[in-house]
Each structure stands twice: as structure tokens, then as C-alpha cells.
Structure 1
């Protein structure tokens, strides 16, 4: 077994152990590992035809021991975090802590606070918009912290590591935080959003902020509902598609100043800054790791192995927060969509011959179909419905996204130099923006929703069928 194969299977077993343990089935990890090792040994001993595969099978069974290691890592990580939690729920207290996120401002202002002094842990705080707070500011609040009710309680506790909620407390003390790199990047992001707000109409500004910076605070209820019905909500959840456009633009621009290798490493710093600026969502982190690794391979003279890069992304993120595997729907959708594009997309092209076309619409159609097929069960399980017309709306809009994003980033870059030039760029961006919002509105009215109930055997069979399609048609 080659080293890259060992890494892939070792990571698979380690992550499998984390996932099974996180959903409360930890006892099954060791049992399944022992069964797998026993079956492998029996196969090697009883079937002479497997002599040539003996070393491979024995290595594979040894790597399976990493599944219990993954389960133990999850337990250690959870116990370590639980030791530090000191929050008396349901009691009126004075709470002091530092803001650890970029405050979300909509009808209310929502901030996450890391408690200090006699309390420890992270809580979510809902405030009025009377005063603007920033990352790093220190607040002293008086009120009652309550546990977040289910089903969102488990989501916040496991994925966001937020343990309680404090609504409209009395603010007893407020201290501005020190200047930091992260605070500066959040400040740049907020200024960029204000550029869009000044130069574009409300809905167009909100949509531009969403596809370029992942900001969703300014979305109107109507726009949110239209995007849900038309199946286009993912457009404003920054993904590999958005990051790829950004990396391509950075490399093109920096390549005119420095040599390719130097430009690449400067671009890495730009991508890291962008990830921090957008709040470090799982889809953005995964896309950034993937984008950096994919572009690093040819520069360092290495062959790009998609499965190992995907696994490396998952491994890095799971080591930081192992709960994302089971409790972060965005993480699951992001990875499944990526697997669809990398593996199912070539198979769909070979089956349908969807290649070329005006503005490559056929390839975009095949790519969108591949991603939609991979994420369909998760979407149905999460939202209990799926739109049959979402494929068409996504194909139409994806043609315009690169142009829209390019105009958006140019607006941000030029606004500091010339507000008039930024306004001209804003006017130019209105054509694709209004077209995109028009498509979203149209398909929200034409949406054909179904509400299927999926069972575990059906989901397993569904993905087994897709695996069969990939195996048969990918290289045809």
C-alpha cells in the first residue's frame, strides 16, 4: 500500500470513529473494528487467491485501529471542554466577557461572548441596535443566561460551542477592545458591506454582500423566502466556487508583480485573511484549504490527488472541532457537493455528453446536477423538502456569479480611490444583480416542492447507486 493510500484510509477510519462517537454510538466503534480485523485475517488465511493482496489487507486492518483512536480523541476533546464550563443557568448574575465574533446586525444585534473571571464558557447575547459593538470589546452584563431550547440547543452547543443565551441584559460596563489583526479584518469587511449599501439598492446590496463576503444579516424576509423556495440559498454560503474565483483573481493580479511561486504564497496570506474576515465558516475553511492545496501541488511539483486533499480538509477541521462531522449541516453539504463535482461530474458528463455550449452552460448544468444529486438526501433530511425546479434556477444564475463577484470586489477596491468610479461599477453590476434576483423571484413562484420521508436503508442504497454510477462511468 502506497503512502498516500495509507493516509487516506487512516484518515477515513479516524474520522469514522469521531463521527460514530459523536452521535452516541461509541460502543459500536470498537466492535466494528474487531469484526473488520477478524474478517480480514480469515480472508488472508482461508483464501489462497488473496496471497498477492495479503500485505495490503493486513495494512488496511491495522489502519482500522484508528477508528477507536478517533472515538477516544472525541471523548478527550469533549471532557477537556466540559471541565472549563462554569455557567449557572437560570440565575441572575453579573457576566463579564469578550466578544469573539463579528456582531450580526439585523432586527437585533447578536454577539457571542467568551465569559471571564468567575464564569467560563461561551454564550450568545441578543441586544438592541442602540450601540454598535465590535470583535474584542469587553462587556459587563446583568441578566439571566438560559439554555438554548431544542432543536437549536444541540446545534449551538455542539457545532458553535455556544452553551447558553442571554437576551436584552442590562449593560453595566463597556470597554473597547484592543486593536488586533482579526478586528481589523472584520472592520474591513463591515466597511465593504457599507460600500454596497451606499451604491446599490437594498436587495441588490444584500445579495452582493452575500456572494462576495458571506454576509446575510441584511436579507429581507421576502428575499430569504424566495431563495429557500427557488433552492438558491447556498449561493450566499461561501463555498469552493467563490473561493476558486477569488484565488484565480489573486493569482492573476499578483502574477503581474511577482514570480509564480512568490505570488502564490502572497495569495495564501490573502485567502487566510479572507477566511478570518468572513467569520471562518466551515464551507469557507474547507474551500480555502482545498484551493490552497490544489494550487500548491503543481507549484511544488506534486500530483494533485483530490481524495487526499478532501480528506486533509476534513481532518484539519475535525481536529479543531470534532462536532462538525455530525452537527454542522453546512460542513456536510459542502463536502458532499465537492465530492459530487470531483467524482460524479465526470460520470454525468460521460452519460449525458453535456459539454461546451454558450458560456459553457452545458458543463455548468452537469456540475450543478452532480452537486444537487450528492446533497439531496441531506437537504431533504434537514429542510424536509426539496424543489424540483432548483436545478434550472441554479444553472441560470451560476452563469452570472463570476461577473457579479468580480464587479463587487472591484467596487470595494476602487471606493477608497474614487467614489465616482465605484458608483459606475455599481451601476454596471445592477444588470447581473437584477437578473439574478429576477430568476430567484421567478423560480420561487414556479417552485415544485416535494416532501419525501427518507429511511436509513434508502439513503445507504442511494449513495451506493451513485458510487456504482461513478465507478462505471467516470472513466468511460
Structure 2
């Protein structure tokens, strides 16, 4: 790092150290102490060696590592009387608004409720105390915080409904598993700022329309989409199209969902940047393949991402995924790695400022980020390698995108789930080229169905054919005895070694490409 650093490099490393600080904070015993030591060390080294700017990176590292740790610490839930989680373990009555789209399951619904007021419920002891003239706290208290309410399917509640809920508040914990793959449910919920659970509630509806107007409008539009999809297609094609168009995977049959897991194709029905980055790359490739200019291809793919955000409901996780997909498009449009590197770390830093917990506790965000890096930095290497291959029906582009995403996400999948799909490359090559087609046909069928149900059902047969092809491929490959291998979760140190090796490979290949380019010019 000798010599002066350019402004571009200063910006890049500042964002990178900030992200590193947020990533390290959850695993440090005393994160603020470590951050303060890093800040102090960086400042001391810089001021002692000034004006020699060789140690500027140490200075930047200390400052932004500290700021990253500080941001994570600021987002940690504090147990005060103003937080509803303070009353975990208590029987309570609280008032709140359903703050996201209800998560419907087969036999229940999960409501994320943003609380505004609470009072403790009377039990037998408090009633006895009250009858004897004792003091019982029945006053409403102003509180804030989120509660995940597990309720019955009926009556149905919607985003923006204001409810009065009676239940015992409980603290989330770790869900134990017989295979040793315990699920850190508390951390999973923490990324959504949920620190309280509510089971078997008694709910009283108070009023509707208390949420954000725009989100409410998007969810109403999505609801009409869901109803129309179910009218124009049979199962499991209807549930599958719902997964493709708006990430609704709960209604997909369990056996089909397991087949998606075995074949490593769940990303196509998940709301994460993993599927959007693949979708963006495929839309771009198809547009170019039919003769559309580079600039217009960019806008077509960008519109496709925007469309997904709108029909999926515009929630935070969807927007994060869309940003990742947009970065892939930007990388393809800009072409210069130095610029896209800065855009990538800046976008990641901004998303982590909004919610620092997703880096450590959100597998979807991690996979999104890894897939995006793969599509940005590995795709050009593979494109160069397969340059002489013919591009027929988008198969070459599908192969490049699949390999790039799989290589960068495989270590994370092993670390998180302990499973590797051996048929994933083949499955994705056979499926990904027709995914944009399935989504486009599905969208047209739904629009026709909204206008005229009969027209939507007629066009729906074409959608059914494409969806059935995908399902049959998944079913066939999942039945192969060696399709998936459960090897157990890898250690974090192995994860780091994997990514160091991948990083070295990308760097070495990039250097070779630059050398070849210089030789051609000469």
C-alpha cells in the first residue's frame, strides 16, 4: 500500500472497514472495547507517522471499524420499561398495528405487531389483592417494539390493522434439532427487531388503515394477483408461480419444496437477492440475445426488477434484494471493476446502516451479497473462458451465471445448512433459461385474468406448460440417489479459507485477463 491512496481507494476501504466492524461486532466479547482500541491505535499510528501517508489505511481501518461496531451496538435492543420485551414472561394486554404482510401458514398465521401501549393482565393473585384494597397496576403504559403473534387463520387480519391483544409475552430462544443443526430463532427474529413472542392470543380488532398508504396499496395489488393466480392455474403450478412472481412459498407442497432443496433451486422461489441477481442477469442476456442494444437491455432488466419489487409488496427484504440485482445490472453497464467495487461496498454499507443485524443473522442477505459478488467478479472470468461457445437459447449465459453464483454461495450454504446439491449446476442450467419466460407468461396471464378470467385461463395453459417443465426437471433430478449430500456444517475458519481461496482465484484470473488485454493492444 505504498504511495498516496486515490480517493476511490479511500472510499472503498472506508466502507469495507465499516462493514467489517458490523460483521465482527456480534462475535466480540466486548465489541466497544475492541472498537475503541482499534480507533486509538489507528489514530496514534497515523499521528506519529504523519505526514507519511503509508499508514493512512491503518488510520481509516481504526476509525471505520469503530464506527461499524458502534452502529451495531446502537441497534441492540435495550431492556427498559419503554420496550415491550421488558415485560417478557408477563401476562399482558397490548395495543399495536400489524406492520408487515401477515405470514400465512397451513394452520396458523404469524403477525408482526408494532406495539404502542401495554398494561399487565390481572391474574388470580392480583384480583384477590384488589378485592382486599391492595394496589394493582392497571394503567396503560406507552411502549414500543415488535411482537410476533402466532394466531389462528381466522378471522383474517391485514397490514395496517390496529389490534388489542391479550397473551403471555415470551422471549425467543434457540430451537433444538436432533441432527445437531440448531436454529438460532432468537437471532433470526432479532434482525427484524422482534424480541417478544405471543402464543394463543385473544385478539380484538380496533381499526384498519393504520399502516403506510403506499405499502398498503402494494399489498392490496398483490392480494388481487394471488387470487387471480389461483383461479387461472391448478396446483402445484399456481403455488409455484406465486413463488416466482412474489416469493409466496408457503403454499408450495412440502414434497415439492424438498425437491427444490435437494436440487439447489430454492433461490428461484425465495425473496432474496440470490434469485433477483440471477433473474437480472438472465433478462439482460435474453434481451441482448434477441438483438436489443446494451443500453435498452439494461433498462428492460431494471424494469423487471422494479416489477418484482412492486408485486412482491415492497418490503425491506425485497428492496435489499432488488438493490443487489440492480448492482449486477450496473456492473454490466459500467464495465469498470473499480467503479462497481465502490458501488457494491457503498450499497452494502447503506443497507447495514439501516439494519446492521442482517449481515450476521440473515442468510438471505448473505447469499444475496455472495451471489452478487459472483455475478459481478466471476462472470467476466467465465465469459472469457467460454467465449467461443455458441449462445443458444441463453444456455451459455445460464451456465456462466449459475457457476458464478454457485461458487460464491456454496461455502455459505455449507456453513449455514450443511448440505451441498451435486445436481445444482445441471438443474440450474436446465431451468434458469426458462425462468424469465415463465415469469413473463405468468404476468401476462394474470393481467389477462384480471381483465377477463376466461382469457387468463386460456393463456394460463401456456404458463402451465413452462411451469410443468420446470417442476418435472426438479422432480427427476431430485430422485437421483446422489443428488444431495449432507456433510454437516463447516467451521467458520473453513468458511474463511474457502473465501480466501476464491478471492485469490478471482485476483489471479483478473490479472491474467489484464495482461492478455495489454498484449492484444500492443
The TM-score by the shorter chain falls in which range? 0.7 to 0.9
**Residue 94 of structure 1: CA displacement?**
1.4
CA distance in 2, matches of 1:352, 1:296: 19
Q: Secondary structure at the match of 2:92?
A: strand
CA distance in 1, matches of 2:105, 2:59: 52
Change (3 A) 1:392 1:399: same
**Residue 267 of structure 1: CA displacement?**
5.6
CA contact (8 A) 1:411 1:425 kept: yes
**Residue 247 of structure 1: CA displacement?**
8.7
Q: Secondary structure at the match of 1:386?
A: strand
Return the TM-score normalized by structure 1.
Answer: 0.85
Q: Greater shift after overlay, 166-175 or 76-85?
A: 76-85
Matched residue, 1:104: 103
In the alignment, structure 1 residue 60 sits paired with structure 2 residue 57: yes
Matched residue, 1:256: none
Q: Greater shift after overlay, 454-463 or 321-330?
A: 454-463
Residue 479 of structure 2: which of 429, 445, 451 is its match? 445
Q: Secondary structure at the match of 1:358?
A: coil
Matches within 5 A, 1:15-54: 15-25=19-29, 26=31, 27-31=33-37
Matches within 5 A, 1:264-303: 274=310, 277-281=313-317, 284-288=319-323, 291=326
Q: Secondary structure at the match of 1:145?
A: strand
CA contact (8 A) 1:106 1:217 kept: yes
Matched residue, 1:255: none
Matches within 5 A, 1:322-401: 322-351=356-385, 355-401=389-435
In the alignment, structure 1 residue 430 sits paired with structure 2 residue 464: yes
CA offsets per residue over residues 296-323 of structure 1, 9 Å max, x none? 9979xx9982212211221121111111
Residue 144 of structure 1: which of 168, 191, 194 is its match? 168
CA offsets per residue over residues 392-437 of structure 1, 9 Å max, x none? 1111110110100111221232223222222222111111100111
Change (3 A) 1:344 1:244: closer
CA distance in 2, matches of 1:386, 1:130: 39
Matched residue, 1:230: 263
Return the TM-score normalized by structure 2.
Answer: 0.78
- What 5-or-longer segments of structure 1 have no aligned partner? 46-50, 253-258
The number of residues matched between the two structures is 455
CA distance in 2, matches of 1:298, 1:346: 13
CA contact (8 A) 2:99 2:114 kept: yes
CA distance in 2, matches of 1:83, 1:318: 27
**Residue 62 of structure 1: CA displacement?**
2.6
**Residue 159 of structure 1: CA displacement?**
1.0
- What 5-or-longer segments of structure 2 have no aligned partner? 118-140, 175-182, 289-294, 514-522
CA contact (8 A) 1:247 1:291 kept: no
Change (3 A) 1:279 1:427: same
CA distance in 1, matches of 2:459, 2:398: 26
CA offsets per residue over residues 306-358 of structure 1, 9 Å max, x none? 21221122112111111111111111111001111111222234456574342
Change (3 A) 1:130 1:86: closer
Matched residue, 2:93: 94
Question: Which entry has the higher C-alpha Rg, 1 or 2?
Answer: 2
CA distance in 1, matches of 2:316, 2:453: 30
CA offsets per residue over residues 364-383 of structure 1, 9 Å max, x none? 11321121111112111211
**Residue 8 of structure 1: CA displacement?**
1.3
CA offsets per residue over residues 157-214 of structure 1, 9 Å max, x none? 4211111211221123442225722111111111111111111112111111111111
**Residue 31 of structure 1: CA displacement?**
4.4
CA contact (8 A) 2:371 2:405 kept: yes
Residue 237 of structure 2: which of 204, 208, 213 is its match? 204
The CA RMSD measured in Å over matched residues stands at 3.6
**Residue 81 of structure 1: CA displacement?**
8.8
Matched residue, 2:122: none
Residue 219 of structure 1: which of 230, 237, 252 is its match? 252
Change (3 A) 1:379 1:190: same
Matched residue, 2:209: 177
**Residue 241 of structure 1: CA displacement?**
3.2
CA contact (8 A) 2:232 2:449 kept: no
Change (3 A) 1:171 1:454: closer
CA offsets per residue over residues 67-91 of structure 1, 9 Å max, x none? 1122122222326796741331222
CA contact (8 A) 1:247 1:271 kept: no
**Residue 153 of structure 1: CA displacement?**
3.3
